[in-house]
Structure 1
């Protein structure tokens, strides 16, 4: 049976308490049972994200369920040695049961491998999937910001397909967003101007309640775009919801935001607006809608960080810097004005 990574086990127990500990105790057996059902055997180091493990697997000897995938690709995940799973063909992903993970396989089914890893098998009761294997290298490893925005935009355009029935609709969250913005502004200390807060509320009122039924990723950022063999880049870890495709511009830029921390104010303004221009053009999105969703995401991130901290920064100087950055993003994107072009 597999060995659950210690860091993943500790993080799960800290976050989920006794239910997390009980799930962890069953996890090796879950992987073993699903591996047998799907005629797979582990073939590399167990990787993990925050809420799930990723086990590289290969077909059990004597079984075949379709054309062989190219050998030598890297396992889907967020870390690990590049040769950690030589010979693996797929990955078995098992997540801690959570409402946010329910519709991930539905999104993969709708995409059917177009711009995202392919879903081989699913076991919804156990929040488990057998997925096409990709590499561990992500788009976040690319240093050229223009390339990141262009690659993400082209991929996003392919993922924006009609949403299947049964997915949660983002428009149904708009009332909650508006109430949370009011509560956070009232209860939390912050450096956001009235103009930035007003722009975020206006986005919820004007865009949030009237959205198309387009399948969107919901957590579209550079670390969820992996290098692959079948296609140059493939998306992973979707939330699977229906709404305005421009919504994903916000998750891309705010999640990538920390790489801009070293920039001065004027340079940051130009860099962020340029990234928006490139992404919106490549994704064939309305640029102003993408800006407005990104500004809302920045406000929400600033408040979330003050209330809960961030994954890798719960307190201290790093958290303070990230909060300052989120608020700065919210201010510089509050209106349509772009920095003047330079020659």
Structure 2
């Protein structure tokens, strides 16, 4: 949970973002490591207050952009954001690895609360994909929450990311939220599993990640998301995500 508000510093139009520690410190560390051509810039931050002073991008996001264009832009950004983990040289702040951030424990907790949402095949595939992350040697960052509404144009017309939830690990993790907007899942379902895989192929090609890995992590995240939405009472969305999980389960 964060609070974001527009502010001014002299003639500069900026944004002030306040969020809990240590999330604020991790975000500031990641933003300062990301290339300015691909990410909003963090101009200053205050650890104790959990405050980040950010440049102000335009309100225009990728929401509603055609799928192939949106996927291409986001996959390219994901690839450019894969910079060396800056927390390796920072004793005070550590950015967690995807393999060690409690995903599997979280999944088991969701399954306990919503045991009948997904097939055993879907759940087993997700468990395997998450467990296999322990063998991922990646030592670079991934955005952690890349989707169309977290990509905005800057004042020069270039696309850049905002609001990272940084992790250390493969950028294939982003495939699930990049290939389709939640409010357009019905379009993807109508197009069928072949279109789902085609979009993942496009993501993997542009992001330069193994297609198999992108598919497996997309499937695992669809499982987690379906369970979460079912618990929240979002039955239709949970069913759509369960379709995605089943379509990619092996």
The answer on 1:109 being equivalent to 2:32 is yes
Calculate the TM-score normalised by the size of structure 2.
0.89
The residue aligned with 1:139 is 62
Equivalent residue runs for 1:74-113 within 5 Å: 89-113=12-36
- Distance in structure 2 (CA, Å) of the matches to 1:103 and 1:127: 10
Deviating 4+ runs (over 3 angstroms): 98-102, 208-211, 262-265
Counterpart secondary structure, 1:102 = helix
- Distance in structure 2 (CA, Å) of the matches to 1:156 and 1:263: 22
Give 1:279 shift.
1.3
Contact 2:179–2:203 under 8 Å retained in 1: no
What whole-Å deviation, never above 9, does each CA across 1:258-293 have from its counterpart, x for those lacking one? 31224545x132332222111111111111111111
Rg: which structure is higher?
1
The residue aligned with 2:163 is 237
The residue aligned with 1:159 is 81
Counterpart secondary structure, 1:261 = helix
- Distance in structure 2 (CA, Å) of the matches to 1:179 and 1:167: 19
The residue aligned with 1:125 is 48
Structure 1: stretches of 5+ with no match in the other structure: 1-49, 61-88, 310-314, 336-343
Give 1:330 shift.
0.5
The answer on 1:226 being equivalent to 2:152 is yes
Contact 1:215–1:243 under 8 Å retained in 2: yes
Equivalent residue runs for 1:22-37 within 5 Å: none
Give 1:130 shift.
1.8
Counterpart secondary structure, 2:48 = helix
Give 1:114 shift.
3.1
The residue aligned with 1:63 is none
Contact 2:17–2:54 under 8 Å retained in 1: no
Relative contact order, higher structure (CA 8 A, sep 6+): 2
The answer on 1:150 being equivalent to 2:72 is yes
Contact 1:106–1:240 under 8 Å retained in 2: no
Contact 1:121–1:129 under 8 Å retained in 2: yes
- Distance in structure 2 (CA, Å) of the matches to 1:206 and 1:162: 21
Give 1:181 shift.
2.8
The answer on 1:54 being equivalent to 2:5 is yes
| Change in 2 beyond 3 A, CA 1:224/1:323 | same
Calculate the TM-score normalised by the size of structure 1.
0.66
Structure 2: stretches of 5+ with no match in the other structure: 89-93
Counterpart secondary structure, 2:63 = helix
What whole-Å deviation, never above 9, does each CA across 1:102-159 have from its counterpart, x for those lacking one? 31111111014130011211112112122222111101131x1110111111111111
- Distance in structure 2 (CA, Å) of the matches to 1:159 and 1:227: 16
